[in-house]
A = this chain, B = another copy of it.
Amino acid sequence: MAVVENNTPFQVPCPNESHTILEPFAVFEPTGESSGALVILNTNLDKIALRDIWRHSLVRVCADGGANRLYDFFDSENEREKYLPDYITGDCDSLRADVEKYYVSRGTILIRQLSQYSTDFMKSIKVALLHASGESGRRALAGPIESNNGLSDLMSEVCPLPEISLYVAGGIGGRFDQLFHLINQLYTLTKEYPGMAIFFYTETDVIFLIPKGVNYVKYSSVLIFNTLELLPRCGLLPFGKNVILNTRGLQFDVENWPSTVGGDVSTSNGILGKDGFVICTSEDIVLSVEVSR
């Protein structure tokens, strides 16, 4: 058990053993393939790099009042016209009538789902997965869908589940129990949909799950974090179970380090890996990385 303090950026090679590669910062690259699904939640979008994430997404879904947020995000009508979501879903009790009319008249598909046993976030994920599952999923989304819980019925027919990155804009920063709910979803959805990686983009951070095992978080350069200092802050956050951590590429690298709520937790750590860092964890944890756009 040890903590080693590093002071200057250094190269961290990709691990030799079997590992998961995570690239949540790819959305900030000026170019690159579009491969993810964007979900916009009904919370403040200020200072979120929405245009960047949009460019890197193949499909864009607004969760209920998330459509209002998207609409209000743009000052100019000219720009608003260029950012039309593919879908709006949810129980739509927060969706403004003017916003609904604006997007539906421009081709956005509105999928009203009244069931209260699923959140607007979950409904949006189902739409994204159906869209990514291929031609038949997209046809089903375009057709009439039973208005209570039709999405769930359609989802049950999708096999195998597609592998996608889910980029979530908003959601962290409102009521504290809702924030905790989303973090809990990170854990449950990663179990339920093993092919899906979920990344939350907030005003201050990118937040995502680091699954149990060896992980390599990869990026082009630390400039991608765009923080004022060249040492973006990060936290290794053991929501849930106690963990043993090993890292390589952080300001305070740890070796066989037990971490638990009510005990030691690595927060205000920094990223020093030039184009990646390694996190090995004995259980799923959440990683937050400071970004500034």
- Using CB atoms and an 8 Å cutoff, list the residues of chain A in contact with chain B: 172-178, 180-181, 183-184, 187-188, 191, 202, 204-205, 207, 233-235, 237, 239-241, 260-263, 265, 267-269, 284, 288, 290
Contacts and interface: CB of A to CB of B under 8 A. Distances in A.
Given A205-B175, A267-B181, A268-B178, A262 B235 contact: no
Q: State the number of copies, please.
A: 2
B180 A176 contact: no
Contacts of A260: 240
Contacts of A178: 235, 267-268
Nearest to A189: B262
A204 B174 contact: yes
A86 to B, nearest CB: 28
A233 B240 CA distance: 23
Given A180-B235, A239-B239, A175 B265 contact: no
5 contacts: A174-B204, A176-B205, A177-B233, A178-B267, A180-B237
A265 B186 CA distance: 13
A155 B204 CA distance: 35
A57 to B, nearest CB: 23
Given A187-B262, A262-B191, A262-B240, A204 B180 contact: no
B262 A175 contact: no
Contacts of A188: 262-263
Contact of A288 (B176, B191, B239): B176
A265 B188 CA distance: 11
Nearest to A174: B204
Contact of A261 (B183, B204, B288): B183
Contact of A173 (B173, B183, B233): B173
